[in-house]
Amino acid sequence: MLGLRRPGAIGVKAVGPFDLGRLTRLHRSCFEDSWSRSDLAHLLALPGGFGLIARLQDGGLASLEALRGAGFSLCRVVRDESELLSIGVAPGFRRRGVATSLLRASMRRCHEWGAGVMFLEVAVDNVSAQRLYKVHGFEQVGRRPDYYQRANGERVSAYTMRCDLTQHLPAWIDDRDMA
C-alpha cells in the first residue's frame, strides 16, 4: 500500500457539523472507552477546540469507506498551549501514513491558532503511538500513574509528552496536509 503514502493520497479536512456521526464511529473503532456523540459535540464546541478527519483518496477495495473517513484527531488550543486530546485511525487503514498526516495538520493548525507547545497523554504500553509522537518532536516530560482504565478494569499509567511547535513545526508541512 505504499502508493497511499504518495503526496495527495491523504486529504485532511476540519470536522464539520455533518461529520459528527462519522467521528463518533471512528472514535469507537479505535478506543475501548470511546466517547459518545454528545461528548464529542461538547468538546468541539469548547473555545479553541477542533477536530480533523483524514480521507484516503485512493483506498482500493474499501475506497468508499476510506473516502468518507479513515482517521481523526481532536485538539484544543488555550492561549499559547495546545493539547492533542485524541487521535485514531480505523484498524483497516493503519500503517499508511494517515496518523502522520493528521498529527502534522493538527500541529500546524494549533500553531496557527497561537500555540507554541503541544501536550498529549499516551498509555505507557502504547508503543506504536509513542513512536509516532517521537518522530514528530515530542518528548516525555511526566508520568501519570493509573491514568487510563481499560474495559477489564485494569489501570494503566500514561506518559505526558510535549512538543515545542516553534522548533519542530516544520519544513515537512505543506499545503497538501490540509485539504
Ligand X SMILES: CC(C)(COP(=O)(O)OP(=O)(O)OC[C@H]1O[C@@H](n2cnc3c(N)ncnc32)[C@H](O)[C@@H]1OP(=O)(O)O)[C@@H](O)C(=O)NCCC(=O)NCCS
- Which residues form the interface with ligand X (CB under 6 A)? 30, 87-89, 94-100, 122, 126, 128-129, 131-132, 135
Q: Which is nearer to ligand X, 96 or 111 (CB)?
A: 96
CB of 38 to ligand X, least distance (A): 21
Closest approach of ligand X to the CB of residue 115, in Å: 18
Complex with ligand X: residue 73 or 169, whichever CB lies closer: 73
Name the residue nearer to ligand X (CB basis): 94 or 176. Answer: 94
* Shortest distance in whole angstroms from residue 131 CB to ligand X: 4
| 133-164 residues labelled b (16+ CB within 10 A) or e (exposed) | beebbbeeeeeeeebbeeeeeeeeebbbbbbe
Sheet harboring 71-78: ordered strands across? 10-14, 49-56, 71-78, 81-89, 117-123, 155-164, 139-149
Which position has the grid cell 479505535?
Answer: 30
Q: Which is nearer to ligand X, 30 or 41 (CB)?
A: 30
